[in-house]
A and B are shown apart, each in its own frame.
Chain A
Amino acid sequence: EVQLLESGGGLVQPGGSLRLSCVASGFMFNYYDMRWVRQAPGKGLEWVSGISPSGDKTEHADSVKGRFTISRDNSKSTLYMQMNNLRVEDTATYYCVKDHDFSLDYWGQGALVIVSS
């Protein structure tokens, strides 16, 4: 059974930093692209970042470019998101998502990030 378990969310002040982690199990983690997708409270879904299986290629949405960094440790089957210089508008639930064949087939339970003073 595929499982994606996020952690690291919480309350942070504007300008602060957080690091999200996502531990994967139930599939060959090092075979797949992985992505972060976020959802602001009561809003829709927004793709944030993506990373290739080996980690050599990363992509970020313009809204987070230069502030967020996606990475992975295949030896630990873990995906990360380092979030710096957080803004109020980054408040959202962040989902770790497995990418298979240009589709998002498995989603984690989400990590809530609240940016507020």
Chain B
Amino acid sequence: VVMTQSPLSLPVTLGQPASISCRSSQGLVHTNGNIYLTWLQQRPGQSPRRLIYKVSNRDLGVPDRFSGSGSDTDFTLKISRVEAEDVGVYYCMQGTHWPFTFGPGTKVEIK
């Protein structure tokens, strides 16, 4: 399953919203009815960190300015108000079909 993201680069103004799109080449509804779409954040010089799983579930400790939505093949990560600590690369990942595959990443930077 090929994952694509847009844009690949996203300059944003502090305090403004940001949105990242992720699309899969096949539907991500598992035979059990769940959609295994994950969003990861990788800050500069750090390991990836999971933000959101199963489309819209935020991990513990993830600020509520991050939200995920979507269905089937189209998904979106939104940051309601970008803060300086949000700079980094964001990856979507699908776990529905073997093997897991990742999107190319979207680099978020401050204007």
Contacts and interface: CB of A to CB of B under 8 A. Distances in A.
Interface stretch (A20-28, A70-78, A105-113): A105-113
A1 to B, nearest CB: 12
How many chain A residues sit at the interface, stated as a range, is 10 to 19
Contacts of B96: 102
Contacts of A117: none
Interface string B41-59: 0000001111001100001
A46 interface: yes
Contacts of A59: 98-99
Interface string B90-108: 0101011011111111000
Of B53, B91, B98, B99, most A-chain CB atoms within 10 Å: B99
B99 A61 contact: yes
A95 interface: yes
A44 B38 contact: no
A108 B47 contact: yes
Nearest to A98: B50
Given A45-B48, A109-B47, A103 B38 contact: yes
A102 to B, nearest CB: 3
Contacts of A95: 47-48
Contacts of A108: 47
Interface string A24-39: 0000000000010000
A104 B101 CA distance: 11
A61 B102 CA distance: 13
Nearest to B99: A47
B50 A105 contact: yes
B94 to A, nearest CB: 9
A107 B49 contact: yes
Nearest to A6: B47
A46 B93 CA distance: 10
Contact of A105 (B53, B100, B102): B53
